[in-house]
Each structure stands twice: as C-alpha cells, then as structure tokens.
Structure 1
Amino acid sequence: MDNSIYDVIIIGAGPIGIACGIAAKNNNLSHLIIEKGCLVNSLYNYPINMTFFSSSERLEIEEIPFVTTNPKPKRAEALEYYRRVHDKYKLNTCLFEEVLACNKNEGVFEIKTSKAQYIAKHVIVATGFYDIPMYLNIPGENLPKVSHYYKDPHYYAGMNVVVVGASNSSIDAALETYRKGAKVTLVVRATDISHRVKYWVRPDILNRISEGSIDVYFESNLSAIRQNEVVISTPKGDVTIPNDFVLALTGYRPNFELLRKFSINVPDEECMIPEHNPETMETNIGGLYLAGVVCGGLNTHLWFIENSRIHAKMIMDSILSKN
C-alpha cells in the first residue's frame, strides 16, 4: 500500500485528466493520475486515420501550442501532443492500473486498484465515455465478426460490410472501407445522415450514396446477425443481405456502474447525468469531483476537450477554497 496521502487523485489520464494534473501541480497540490489503459487511452482507440473536428488550438492545454500542418489535427498528432505535454510537466501517473473502488472514510478517500491502494483528500473522476458501447441487443451481436470499435479499413478489403449508424465514426468507417474495396451497406435509424457529421465529410458520403457506391437503408434497424448474412428491418419489411462483417458504431456511454460504486448519484431517467454542482464540479460526495465528458452522462455531445478544459481550474478553485 502507498502510505502517502495525496491532495488529489485523478482517475483517467485523458486530455482532461492531464489538465487536472497540471492544475494540481501548478497549485502545489500533490497528485496522482491513475489510468486503466495507456496514456490518453480513448484517443489511442480512435480509428487510425481519424481527423478531429476541432482545430488544434482548441485542443491545447495550458496554452502549450499544438502545432500541425493540417487544417484539423489527426489522431497520431494528438497522441504525440498530449504525451509531450504530460512529460513536460512530469506528471505523477500510473498506467495500466484499473480503479476498482473509491470509498470515503473519516474525511479521506481510500482507493483500491488492480495493483495497489491509495489515500487522497480529494478525487477527480475524468473517465470519459468511450469504454462501453451502446449495444444493439439483437441475435448474433456476440459473433466474432461484429465489432463496436473501428480501427483500420484494410482489414475489410473485398468484404461485405454493414456499418450501423450515421455519426462521424460510422461515416468515416463506411467511406474508408469502401475505398479499400469493401461492399458497404449503411443502416441508419434516422431519415438522413446526421448533420453532426464533419462538414467536409458529409458531402462525400451523400455523393457516394447518390451514385450507388454505398448502399443505405434509412429509417431502418439491424434486427439479426448471422454467420453469412444480416437481417435489416426497413419501412418496407425485412431485408436479408450477404454479410462478412458488422461495424456496429452506435455510440458509447460512461461507466455508470463505476460511478455508482463510488456512491455518486446517477439518475435512471433522461440522460443519466451524474449529480454534480456545475459551478464547482463537485458531486454529491464532498471532495469527489467530475471532469470532462463524463459529466454529460448519455449526452455525450455536451462536453468535448475544447469546452471542458475549464473543469480543471473550476475544481482546483473549489479545493483551494476549502483548504
């Protein structure tokens, strides 16, 4: 057991977790960042060729320049940037260490991980939302050919691929796999491609659909997945098509079960936004804070890197006011 009593323990080493670590260090507060995967684990699991919607200056931390020659930065550039920022500030970070429990006892937090136990005066949860997919809950979803994450298009070359969803990740996957020679079919619940799709990508997918290069079923749902085919429920009835792979890119959600284990109130209704004070980011447990995307619950379009960086300062102001 680590016998140190940290001023702040931060759960999650994403961009916002890093920002919180820097804010703690700048205010002379002892800190520890605990991350269950690699540094900026969520960004690492983004598609290899992904381009951010935000410009590089809006992704910066502590006004450290994020330099890129592209109009929008790519995943590899973001990984390099945040690693360099982390190393510049010499943040105290434990990687590949999962937090299993966080309990408040006699005014301090006792944190148990997969490797050790720690004590802290304050805890910040900055775990994002990319860990748990929004499952379809249909027959065949557990087949090996089904994936809820997408990395590289080459794997699907020459295959019959169904992509479920109309968000940025779905459209990127559809276009990239199509350009590597896959026969792509999009299954979309809505009546159109989402207007949240990156503005320079949306015309591309609409043109590919219009010319017949990519098939699409609007107002439809995937209802069953079989070894060599899938069943699509459409307004005109069920359609069965040949299939080799399914990319069910239907979104992700925060780890609500973990938050509840920490005794944070998470309502079952609406967007399941965890209870917190929007002025201090403190939860219903005194000294336990939320930062970043996790604050929005199921409304994962509410907070981004660019608009949640301020959480670090808000939390530190709250902690310092108590001290």
Structure 2
Amino acid sequence: MIERDILIIGGGPIGLATAIEAQKAGLSYIVVEKGALVNSLFNYPLYMTFFSSADRLEIGDIPFISVAPKPGRKEAIEYYRGVAAYRNIQIHLYEKIESVAKQGNAFISISAKHTYKTKKVIVSTGFYDTPIFLNVKGEHLPKVRHYYTEPHEYAFQKVVVVGASNSAVDAALEIFRKGGDVTMVVRGNEIGRRVKYWVKPDIENRIAEGCIKAYFNSTIEEIKERSVVVNTPDGIREIENDFVLAMTGYRPDFEMLRSFGIQLSGDGKYYPAYNKETMETNVPGLYLAGVVVGGMDTHLWFIENSRVHASLIIQHIQSQIKLTH
C-alpha cells in the first residue's frame, strides 16, 4: 500500500499544477494518470492551435515560450513534459483508479497496479475521454470516428462532419484542403459562436462558395455502410459517404464521479456539488479541479481559468491537515 497526504487523479495541466502546489506546501502526493502525460492534449488533433496565448497556459510559475502568438499541441506537450521533469512530479502513468472509498479519516483508492491510502483525493480528470454519442443506427460502424487526429486518411474521401464547434470546423477545413469531399451536418442554424475568431470567417466563406457543403438545422438519422441519411429542413437526404466524424463534444465521466460519492445535479447538466471557495465536494476531503467541475457545460472551464483551482485546494488541504496535528 502506498501512503501519501494526497492522491491526484489525472495528469493533465491542472493535475500537474496541483502537484506543484502540493510540493510548495510540503505535502506528500502522487499523481495517477490512466494514459500518457497530459493525455487529453496528446489526443488532440496534430495541428491544433490553442485559443489561449502561451502565458495563459503556464503552470508552476514556469514560463511557456512560444514562437507563434497562439501555441499548438506539440509546443504544449513539450512544455508540460518539461515542467513535469523540472519539478520531478511524482506520477504513475497508464494506471486507472478504479475505486475511491472513504474509510474513517482516510481514502482508500484502488487501481489494477496499486492501492493508495491518502488523507485527501483530488479529481482532475477533464472530459475529453468520453464522447457524446449521436445514438443513431449505424453509429458503431468502423467508418464512424468521435476523435479527429489529422486529415491525411480522409484525402479524396467523402466525409460527413457532424457539429459546428472548433473541433468540427478544424476537421472540415483541414480535410477539405487535403482533397476531401466534406459535408457538414449542423443541428443549429449557424457555425458555433465560440469557434476561434480567426477560423470562423474561413469556414463560413468556404461554405458560402460551395467548397464545403453544409446542412443547417439538420440531424443524422442513420449511418449506413456507403451513405448517411440526414434529416434536413427540405426533407430526408441520403448522402454518399466514406467516413463520418461525429464532432459532437465530450463529457466528464459522470459514472466515475457518482461511484466516488459525488452528488450531481439532476437538471441535465450534471453539475457536481462543490464549494467554489475550496473546491471540496460533498464528500469531505474529496476535491475537484479543472474542467471536470463544469458538468455538461464543458466550455465554461479551460486551462487558463481553472489553474487557480490548484492553489485554492492546496491552501484548504494545508489548513485542514494542520488542524489535525
């Protein structure tokens, strides 16, 4: 059994920031990450550019130097790996915490590899690992993808991109520029208003000139081996198709949060219960950090405005641990 003051579940930027704050406070900790270091960023599209500038992605008072005004995925991964090495972050990678249970004043957390006994637990798991499904017939065909990495495999193919968010727009533009025949299916009546401001005019112009086809106020009805059935304002259309990219968004692992004892609101947004001043949940000693606090509203929190969670949590933990001595 591994004993520490704190278990941090999730090795993304906010998990690393929390580990650094624990170091500064003289608290023992271990970070456990089910994938690679900053796993969500690792799985982002290869050529993704952040909306935030480099300084807003910094953690641990370590400068993030970027040549471009907005850093990309590769630069961010290099930066966070460098931070982890420089700070000698204590982390176990490719290890998933299966259960967390409170026993007296301690938490017992179990993975396939280890059992951890800690005074506190911090959940900083993000949301990128759980896609929001279309729930239509044919969604589980091999040609359907809920993640997009790069455009090459879609060159000269007929591709349907579902959604109008940043991920959908980036995929549509990149695939079009590699020779793909792109059709967008959008539930609303326009491209998403939160699409990066330097990209939005590009996609709107490509749609206006007909290079990228778009069905607005439309939904996927069925996905077939060689086609996609779309419900449009003008009726049902069946489109010849090779691949479907369902860029419909992602959500936190609500089942995991519930299993840890965290209460979720029942209004369809699944907001977890937590104290905004300390980030402590309804389970005393169990905290949330990062975008996981937003429930289904995953656009509310991101790296630059959730970095503060790390210091809020560690300050509260430090005061709690002192009180017990």
TM-score of Structure 1 vs Structure 2, range by shorter chain: over 0.9
Partner of 2:109: 111
Gaps of 5+ in 1: none
**Partner residue of 1:24 out of 22, 28, 37:** 22
Alpha-carbon distance between aligned partners in 2 of 1:97 and 1:114, rounded to the nearest angstrom: 7
Q: Which amino acid aligns with 2:156?
A: G
Q: CA deviation at 1:63?
A: 2.3
Q: CA deviation at 1:218?
A: 0.3
Partner of 1:249: 247
SS at match of 2:205: helix
**Partner residue of 1:235 out of 233, 242, 246:** 233
Alpha-carbon distance between aligned partners in 1 of 2:158 and 2:44, rounded to the nearest angstrom: 23
Q: CA deviation at 1:106?
A: 1.2
Q: Which amino acid aligns with 1:80?
A: E
SS at match of 2:110: strand
Partner of 1:98: 96
Alpha-carbon distance between aligned partners in 2 of 1:83 and 1:114, rounded to the nearest angstrom: 25
Partner of 1:84: 82
* 1:142 aligns to 2:140 (yes or no): yes
Pairs within 5 Å for 1:1-323: 1-2=1-2, 5-323=3-321
SS at match of 1:43: helix
Alpha-carbon distance between aligned partners in 2 of 1:195 and 1:264, rounded to the nearest angstrom: 32
Q: Deviations over 1:71-117 (max 9, x none)?
A: 10000000000000111110110000000000000110000012111
SS at match of 1:185: strand
Q: CA deviation at 1:195?
A: 1.3
Q: CA deviation at 1:23?
A: 0.4
Alpha-carbon distance between aligned partners in 2 of 1:62 and 1:114, rounded to the nearest angstrom: 30
After TM superposition, the score normalised by the length of structure 1 is 0.98
Q: CA deviation at 1:266?
A: 1.3
Which runs of 4 or more aligned residues in structure 1 lie more than 3 Å from their structure 2 counterparts after TM superposition? Answer: none
Alpha-carbon distance between aligned partners in 2 of 1:139 and 1:322, rounded to the nearest angstrom: 51
Q: Deviations over 1:260-305 (max 9, x none)?
A: 1101111232411101001100001100000000000001011110
Q: Which amino acid aligns with 1:322?
A: Q
Alpha-carbon distance between aligned partners in 2 of 1:272 and 1:151, rounded to the nearest angstrom: 28
SS at match of 1:173: helix
Q: CA deviation at 1:187?
A: 0.3
SS at match of 1:82: helix
SS at match of 2:76: helix
Q: CA deviation at 1:62?
A: 2.0
Moved more, 269-278 or 300-309: 269-278
Q: Which amino acid aligns with 1:89?
A: R
Q: Which amino acid aligns with 1:6?
A: R
Q: Which amino acid aligns with 1:319?
A: I
Task: Give identity over the alignment, percent.
Answer: 55
Q: Which amino acid aligns with 1:254?
A: P
Q: Deviations over 1:126-179 (max 9, x none)?
A: 000001100000000000000000001001000000000000000000000000
SS at match of 1:224: strand
Q: Which amino acid aligns with 1:161?
A: V
Alpha-carbon distance between aligned partners in 2 of 1:84 and 1:211, rounded to the nearest angstrom: 44
Q: Which amino acid aligns with 2:315?
A: D
Alpha-carbon distance between aligned partners in 1 of 2:191 and 2:136, rounded to the nearest angstrom: 23
Q: Which amino acid aligns with 2:45?
A: P
SS at match of 2:118: strand
Q: Which amino acid aligns with 2:126?
A: G
Q: Report how many aligned residue pairs link the two structures.
A: 321
Q: Which amino acid aligns with 1:250?
A: T
Alpha-carbon distance between aligned partners in 2 of 1:299 and 1:306, rounded to the nearest angstrom: 16
Alpha-carbon distance between aligned partners in 2 of 1:212 and 1:126, rounded to the nearest angstrom: 42
Q: Which amino acid aligns with 2:305?
A: N
